[in-house]
Each structure stands twice: as structure tokens, then as C-alpha cells.
Amino acid sequence: MPMGPFGIDPVIWAVLRLVIAVGLAVFLVLNGALAQIFLERKIQAVMQDRIGPYHTGPFGLLQTFADAIKLIGKEDIRARLTDAPFFLAAPAIVFSPMLASFVVLPFGPDFVGANLNVGLLYLTTLGSMTVLGIVIAGWASNNKYSLMGGLRSAGQLISYEVPQILALVTVVLYVGSLSMVDITNSQPGPLVNVLILPMAFVTYLIAALAETNRNPFDLPEAESELVAGFLTEYSGMRWGVFFVAEYGEVTVVSAIMATLWFGGWHGPGVDALPILGVLWFTLKTYMFVLLFMWIRATLPRLRIDQLMGFCWKVLIPLALVNIMATAVLILAFADPRLPLAIVNWILVAALVFGLPFTQRRRLLRFRARTKEHVAMRDVRLAP
Amino acid sequence: MTVPLGAFIAVSAVLFFLGAAGVLIRRNAVVILMCVELMLNASNLALVAFSRRAGQLGAGNPLDQRGSVFVVFVFVIAAAEVAVGLAIILAAYRNRPTVNVDEIHEMKG
Amino acid sequence: MFDFLEPFFFAVFSLGIIGAGVCVVMLRRITAQALLMALTFASMAGMFLLLGAETIALFQVLIYVGAITILILFGVMFTKQDDRGYALFFQKQTPWAAAFTLVIAVPVVFLAFSFKDAITPSGKGGDLIPLAGSLFTDYAFPFEIASVLLLAALVGAIVLVKRDEQ
């Protein structure tokens, strides 16, 4: 009779391990969502010169718990003309790929669900499955705002997947592995990938904002145009599942950025005390979560044509140039770090300083048009 | 207990002929496109299964993946086909608001 | 110990593939058909995993579920799917389809079972490195041709759908 760990029969242990892992991931996602909602409210409140939640519990800490209980306790409403099986399936289709993404995230040294050698591809694949759930939610709601929100979301997510994958390819070219663990291990020192490949990072950050439907790319649920987009007909805990899935996705893309560009769980003191790695990983991940909240409180929403134009005319060409340069430099130099860094920082500078320049031309055109309109109005108003 | 190669090939063949029957009997252009995708996917399964078998024979590289390489090309073909196919359906729909292929017969002599 | 798992998952996936495939051919609700097609593709990815081709399985989900199903749903939503009762199965091509299926498909399916070799799971490492090795050395030229084909399809689709601006 073979024995598994803790003296448990290996058959039972395999099932038990699965249950524990899934339970842990669900626990992590739900708590992360609660913490992020609280943080988001407080941080936006501070940035908008308000106090934010403070009635429930100390510093309003229990406010999100109260909201969660309220959501669960709400009546389960489904409009009669919705398409029942799809309407019920859509939240699950959005939620489950996000949950499955946690399998390959390296939380610490030897603390990872599965060290897949195609880990990054796995994450990309799961990220692309969300679109299906959103389109189905929009279709099944039988509501034109929902449908438009769903279709917009599909267009946006499919478009921004391209620069996202191109940015990942650049890092994979440099590191030479698709495994999240190998990518973490390749940057132990202070020389993390973001110093060498900042262009890929900027591309990924922008694409990730769009992929998670966060401001300034939250067009699918732009309340001033589309009520609440594909979420219009959802209420109660079904809406809550979409909400939790969105925060979970923010966590996943933040963890990807922390792992690929900021050294994952590496940090001072990890060699002596491996559990510190989890702390470093969480800190780096939440750094990006906070960055997302900062962006949300700062930037206005884009228009849909600006969104698509930015993706196809700016991000994708720059990402392609970046891949080309990276591949050539890796082949040309034995130690490609310095030339890679130079080219990448030049590209970042081109993006950062070039964008206002193109916008300036657009602004001048806009001003000229406004002047024309004013002149026409004056002619019309003349007695 | 392992699954024999024949079982994979049989599933692939069943799906292929399901898709073929769908292409022949359905009249909705979008459904026909879906059935063509099913046929392409069935061929993928056969390619991967035979590729595993060829890799096991030990002739040359034990990790021979040539069959799988063709699956990648089939993916490319499928993506190109669905994009152009839907574009054609939409262009035809603009001339004549129907997706029933029996009603689109202007080119018939 | 876990020997039963492989046939079990094979049964589940083949049921998913064939059951959803039958529904795609037979049903009349087009969105249900599109979703069931996605289920067929996902089950097919499971089959690839059983065969040890994990990279292919992930590409399958990425391309078929994430892109092609969405494109087809776009096609469904941009066209009017009329509910008029035109013949679903019984029209002039049905006898040909039946004859084709019976004469060719039945022998082929029975012949398929004649491959008795067992497929043992491959060793460690997966199929990523051998696949990439073949793709970028022996098949580099077809790979480039495939990328040109994709570009041509992209441009062609845009040209076909673009409205004349007047």
C-alpha cells in the first residue's frame, strides 16, 4: 500500500489536494475582491477630496462585507424575455477562466500550483475566454444596450489581445522560456526586466487596462452611453460574480506584470526566509492594483474610435518594431542587455513624447473646426 | 488501460462526417461556416493522433512533431477562412438581406 | 492507480465533441449552435491534452474559442436570422447527403477502429520545444507563407466589408 503525504492514501490525497487548491484560490479571489473594493473606494475618496466609507466598522473596513451580504441577500431577478440558459451561464463563463489562471502564478519559491512549461500561453488563453462570456451575457439579456456593450467589449478585447501577446512575446524572446517559474528565476537581482524591456511593459500595461475593462478603456460599461453595458440586466449575486471576476482579472494581470517585469517573488531576505517571497509577490501585485485605481481616478474615458485607432495605429506597430529590434539584438550581441535597454527606452520616449505631438495636430484641427462653427453661428444669428 | 489510437481516429471521423453532412443539408450560410470549422477541427484531431503514433515508432526523433506542425497550419487556414467567409456573407447580406444560400443565386447561369 | 482516468476523460471529451457536433448540425437556434460549437472546440482541446499535445491544446482554445467563435457570433448578430420555415433537413440535397454519409462515413469509421496501437503518454517536457523546433527549422518557409496568407485574409476581409464612402 503506497503512502502519500501525511500518511493519506494517494488516491484520496489527489482529490483532497484539488479541493484544497480550488478552495484556496476561491478564498484568495473573494478576499482580494473585498480588499480591492475597499481600497478603491478609499483611494478614490482621497483623490477626490472626500472621506469615503467610514460608518461600518473601524475606518469603514466592514462596508464591503455589508455590501457583499446585501448582494447575496438580494432577490434573484431575471427578466422574462432573457435567454435563460445563456443568461445563467454567462457569469460562470467569465468567472471560471479567471479562477483557473491562479494555477500557474508563482506566489513564492516552490509555491506554485503547477509549473507548466507553457504557463504564459495558458494565461493568455484563459484571458481570451472571458470575451465569450461577455458576448453571451450581452446577447442573452435581450436588451439593445447590453448587446451593444457586449459587441463593443468583444471588439475591444480581441483588438487589445494583439499588443498584449506581442508584449509577452518580447519578454519570452529575452528570457527564453514560457514558464512563469523560469521567468521569475531569470531575474534574481535588482536588474529586473522592466529596466531592460520597458517598452514591452508599457504596451502590456495599456493593453491590460483594456483587457480588464478598466478606466480609461471601460467602454463596454460606459454608463453615460450604454446604461451599464452587458451588465444592465444583471442584479444581485449574478452581477456580483461579474464584479468579482473583474477584480480577479485585475489581480491576475497585475501578478503577470509583477512576475514578468518586476522579478516576481524576488526581494531582500527571500533567501533566508522563503515565505517572505509571498509577501514581496503580494506587494508587487498590489502596487499595480493601486496603479490601476490611480489611473481610474485620473483619466477620462476614451471614445470607441480613439480606442481602436490607438490600438491598431500606435500600439501594434510599436510592439512589432520592438519585437523585431529585440530579436535582432539578441542574435547580434552575446550580452544583449545594454543595447536592448537603449532601444527600448528610445521607443518608450517616442511613445510618451510622440503622443502629445499627434494629439496637438488633432487639437489644432478641432480648434479650426470650432472657429468655423462659431463663424457660421454668428452668420446665422446676424439680424 | 490506455485508449487505442483507433478510438481517437474514430471520433475524428465521426465529427468530420457530421460536419460534412451539415454543410450539405443546412441552408444557413453561417451554419455552413460552422460545419466547415467542425470538419477542419476533426482533421486536426487525426493529425495530432497520428503524430503521436509516428513519434512513438522511434524512427529518428522520438519527439517527432511533424503532424502537430500541420495542425498549426490548419489553425491559420481556419482563422483566415472564417474571417473571409464572414466578410463574404456580410457583403452578400448587404445586397440581399438573407443568409439562406438557396436565395443567393444571382451568379447561377 | 489512476489508470481509469484516461479512458474516463476520453469518454467525456468524445461525448462532448460528438454530442455538441450533432447539436450544431441539428439545432435551429443559431446562438445555441455557436456556443455548442465552442463546446466542441473545448472538448477537442481536452483530446489534445490526452494526446500530450498541450501547446496545440492551448492554441486550440485561444484561436477557436477565443477568436473564431466570437467572429461567428458577430456574424450571427450582424445578419438577420429569419425564422421562416424553410426546409431544415428535407430538400433536394438530402438524399445526396444521406448517400454520402452512409457510403463513405460508415466504412471509414469502422476502418478507423482497426488502428489498435496504444498511445502511451509521452515523457516529460511536453510538445512545446519539438513543435517549435520543427516549425522554425524544417517548416520555416511554409510558416512565412501562412503569415502572408493571414495578412491577405485580413486585408481581404476589410476590403469586402468596407462600405463605399461617398
Question: CB pairs under 8 A, 24+ apart, for C154-157?
Answer: C154/B83, C156/B84, C156/B87, C157/B83, C157/B84, C157/B86, C157/B87
Q: Is residue C17 part of a domain?
A: yes
Task: Report pLDDT for C84.
Answer: 55
| pLDDT tens-digit map of A80-114 | 777 778 888 888 888 888 888 888 888 878 777 77
Distances (CA, A) of B25 to A238, B15, B42, C28, C94: 39, 15, 19, 13, 6
- The shortest CB-CB distance from B41 to any of C44, C50, C82 is to C44
The domain tally of chain C equals 2
> Which chain C residues are closer than 8 Å to B8 by Cβ?
47, 51, 119
Task: Report pLDDT for A277.
Answer: 79
C118 three-class SS: strand
Interface contact A129, partner C, CB < 8 A:
yes
For residues A266 and A281, give the distance between their C-alpha atoms in angstroms, rounded to a whole number. 8
- pLDDT band with cut points at 50, 70 and 90 for residue C148: very high
Question: CB pairs under 8 A, 24+ apart, for C28-31?
Answer: C28/C88, C30/B28, C30/B30, C30/B31, C30/C76, C30/C81, C31/A83, C31/A86, C31/A136, C31/A139, C31/C73, C31/C76
Q: Is residue C106 part of a domain?
A: no
**Is pLDDT larger for residue A223 or for residue C129?**
C129
Taking residues A244-249, report their average pLDDT. 87
* Same-domain status, A162 and A278: yes
Phi-psi region of C52 (alpha: psi -120 to 50; beta: other; left: phi over 0): left
CATH of the domain at C22: 1.20.120.1200
> Which chain C residues are closer than 8 Å to A178 by Cβ?
128
Q: Is C150's CB within 8 Å of B8's CB?
A: no
Q: Is residue A46 part of a domain?
A: yes
Cα dihedral value C4, C10, C11, C16, nearest 10: 150
pLDDT at C86 over 60: no
Shortest CA distance from B64: residue in chain C: C130
Q: Is residue A184 part of a domain?
A: yes
Task: Report pLDDT for A229.
Answer: 73
pLDDT at B1 over 60: no
Q: Is C65's CB within 8 Å of A129's CB?
A: yes
User: Which of A19, B45, A115, B75 lies closest to C49 in space, CA to CA?
Assistant: B45
Mark whether C and A touch (3+ CB pairs within 8 Å).
Answer: yes
Q: Is residue C53 part of a domain?
A: yes
Set of cell numbers at residue A144:
439593445
* Same-domain status, A307 and A342: yes
Q: Is residue A250 part of a domain?
A: yes
The domain tally of chain A equals 2
Shortest CA gap A120–chain C (Å):
10
Q: Is residue C5 part of a domain?
A: yes
Report the predicted TM-score, pTM, of the whole model to 2 decimal places: 0.84
- For chain B, state the CA radius of gyration: 18
- pLDDT band with cut points at 50, 70 and 90 for residue C152: very high
Q: Is A129's CB within 8 Å of C61's CB?
A: yes
Full domain range(s) for residue C49: 1-79+121-126
pLDDT at C82 over 70: no
Set of cell numbers at residue A346:
528610445
Task: Report pLDDT for C100.
Answer: 77
Interface contact A96, partner C, CB < 8 A:
no
Q: Is C126's CB within 8 Å of A14's CB?
A: no
Q: Is residue C111 part of a domain?
A: no
* Same-domain status, A207 and A302: yes
* Same-domain status, A161 and A187: yes
Q: Is residue A133 part of a domain?
A: yes
Full domain range(s) for residue A311: 80-358
For residues A94 and A229, give the distance between their C-alpha atoms in angstroms, rounded to a whole number. 15
> Which chain B residues are closer than 8 Å to C53 by Cβ?
48, 51-52, 68, 71
- pLDDT band with cut points at 50, 70 and 90 for residue C88: low
| pLDDT tens-digit map of C27-77 | 777 888 888 898 899 899 988 888 878 888 888 888 888 888 888 888 888
- pLDDT band with cut points at 50, 70 and 90 for residue A1: very low
- Under a CB-based contact definition with an 8 Å cutoff, are residues A322 and A200 in contact? yes
- Under a CB-based contact definition with an 8 Å cutoff, are residues C72 and A136 in contact? no
- Under a CB-based contact definition with an 8 Å cutoff, are residues A344 and A196 in contact? yes
* Same-domain status, A34 and A149: no
* Same-domain status, A201 and A329: yes
> Which chain A residues are closer than 8 Å to C74 by Cβ?
151, 154
Shortest CA gap B57–chain C (Å):
11
| pLDDT tens-digit map of A189-241 | 777 888 888 888 888 998 988 888 777 777 666 666 677 777 777 877 888 88
Residues pairing with A108 in the sheet: A111
For residues B47 and C51, give the distance between their C-alpha atoms in angstroms, rounded to a whole number. 11
Q: CB neighbours of C89 closer than 8 A, spacing ≥ 6? A: B25
For residues B85 and A27, give the distance between their C-alpha atoms in angstroms, rounded to a whole number. 45
Domain B5-103 top-level CATH class: mainly alpha
Q: Residues 152..211 of A with a Cβ closer than 8 Å to C: which?
A: 154, 158, 161, 178
| pLDDT tens-digit map of B43-77 | 998 888 888 776 655 444 555 567 788 888 899 99
Task: Report pLDDT for B59.
Answer: 47
